[in-house]
Chains A and B, each alone.
Chain A
Amino acid sequence: MSQIFNRSTNAIARLSIWGAVFILGGVGWAASILNRSAYNTNQGVTVKQPVPFGHEHHVAGLGIDCRYCHSFVEKSASAGIPPTATCINCHKLIWSDSPMLEPVRESFRTGKPLNWRKVYDLPDFVYFDHSIHVAKGVGCVSCHGRVDKMRLTAQFPSLQMEWCIACHRNPEKFLRPKDRIFDLTWAAADQETLGRDLAKQNHLRSTVALTNCSTCHR
């Protein structure tokens, strides 16, 4: 039986023993980069929808409030994907023969919901609730970005737990007054002072409570 390894592999073997630290470190580093990359998190990625709905046009162009369509965002865990009837409110008369909107009209005729794809798909072991974030003073823009500048809706943050925790540790960096929650362009003159005042005023729980596992996982 011939030898499997050539004599020259000895050098490689020695080198890899000494280099193991660097090799393992390098692999770990590559894995962490891959883990945070859009390939894994879908950050900044748009999703193909049945109708290429443009937030930019409806929000910035027409000035429609977020709540006109996402009507339950202040009261329930889910912000609410509008029923087809909400589209038809306007599109019965506007762009009413546009071929692009045929799936909308078909859905309205048949009663079969449009199959909108989720852009922010949280894992099922996360119990996110929109209403509590709105009630405590977190604005739409903090998590959804400048939706008024998105032609097609993309996922703004990484949605990784480190991103959630960054705010749960220091919510005062993001809190805003109640009447500015839905204002995508507003920014505080002095966020530090305002945030601290709002945290007190809105009875935010302590950092310990906000970063408790069971706050988001149950």
Chain B
Amino acid sequence: MRRLLFLAGGPVLALALSGCRNDMHHQAKIKPFRESKFFADGASARALPEGTVARGFLREDSALWRGHGPDGKFVEQIPVPLTRALLLRGQERFNVFCSPCHGRTGQGQGMIVQRGFKRPTSFHADRLRAERAGYFFDVITNGFGQMSGYAVQVTPEDRWAVVAWIRTLQASQHMPGDFLEKGDREHLDTAALASQPEPAASGHSPSKKSSLSSSETK
């Protein structure tokens, strides 16, 4: 009988010790993405009820938040100040969210397109070069064709930054040659020569090489 008690004591002690652990590790509270038994769909994070506006989210300025004026026409210009910081932010967001399909240069040959997604129109096509800034904002927000909207991932402020970056990419492909400063122009010519499939090694003049290195050290 006593031996039985001894034998039973071990498991009871183990059970008691393991019981210490779990209350605090798994508290009866909701952390992000935790399941909720209360709601039918099991999600603890709830969507905003239709027709309601959260405090601080009344976005009256239609141009800024929706990309079109009160007349419903897309705004011509980006309605936030263009700064270097905005362009760099736009570049970063573009590379994260847009480049998988549009490619880093906006030609529309990103990796997902190479794996079979429908190829988007190049940003350098005439139609998209002529579009107003608000149009791009609207497409990022609501999607277009096979593209889903990115309103959830990209905030309105970031959407304008991305639009600014799209404009930068467009400008980069249609810059008149004499617009460039002398060093940059030579740099570009050297790069174009270097990237040709059949290198004309003898055609490379040493002066061009030196201009490349000097522009890089600038």
Q: Residues of A at under 8 Å CB distance from B?
A: 4, 62-65, 67-68, 71, 76-78, 81, 83, 85-86, 88-90, 92-94, 111-113, 115-116, 123-125
Count A-B contacts at CB 8 Å: 65
Interface string of B114-137 (1 = CB under 8 A from A): 011110000000000000000000
- A103 CB to closest chain B CB (Å) equals 14
**B residues 107-165 with Cβ under 8 Å of A?**
111-112, 115-118, 146, 148, 152-153
Cα of A76 to Cα of B41 in the assembled complex, Å = 24
- B112 touches which of A71, A88, A94 (Cβ 8 Å): A94
Cα of A86 to Cα of B150 in the assembled complex, Å = 9
Residues in B neighbouring A4, C-beta threshold 8 A: 2
6 pairs of A and B residues whose beta carbons are closest in the complex: A78-B32, A124-B27, A123-B25, A65-B96, A71-B153, A89-B148
Least CB separation from B148: chain A residue: A89
Least CB separation from B21: chain A residue: A123
Residues in B neighbouring A111, C-beta threshold 8 A: 41
Cα of A63 to Cα of B115 in the assembled complex, Å = 12
Residues in B neighbouring A62, C-beta threshold 8 A: 100, 111-112, 115
Least CB separation from B24: chain A residue: A125
Q: Residues of B at under 8 Å CB distance from A?
A: 2, 24-27, 29, 31-33, 35, 41-43, 95-97, 100, 111-112, 115-118, 146, 148, 152-153
- The verdict on A77 contacting B153 (CB below 8 Å), with A67-B96, A68-B96, A112-B42 known, is no
Cα of A167 to Cα of B43 in the assembled complex, Å = 34
- The verdict on A94 contacting B148 (CB below 8 Å), with A111-B41, A123-B24 known, is no
**Would you call B26 and A124 a contact (CB within 8 A)?**
yes
**Would you call A88 and B148 a contact (CB within 8 A)?**
yes
Residues in A neighbouring B29, C-beta threshold 8 A: 124
**Would you call A94 and B116 a contact (CB within 8 A)?**
yes
**Would you call A85 and B148 a contact (CB within 8 A)?**
yes
Residues in A neighbouring B24, C-beta threshold 8 A: 123-125
Cα of A136 to Cα of B123 in the assembled complex, Å = 36
**Would you call B112 and A124 a contact (CB within 8 A)?**
no
- B100 touches which of A64, A81, A125 (Cβ 8 Å): A64
- The verdict on A63 contacting B111 (CB below 8 Å), with A68-B96, A93-B146 known, is yes
Residues in A neighbouring B25, C-beta threshold 8 A: 123-125
**Would you call A113 and B31 a contact (CB within 8 A)?**
no
**Would you call A124 and B115 a contact (CB within 8 A)?**
no
- A68 touches which of B2, B27, B100, B116 (Cβ 8 Å): B100
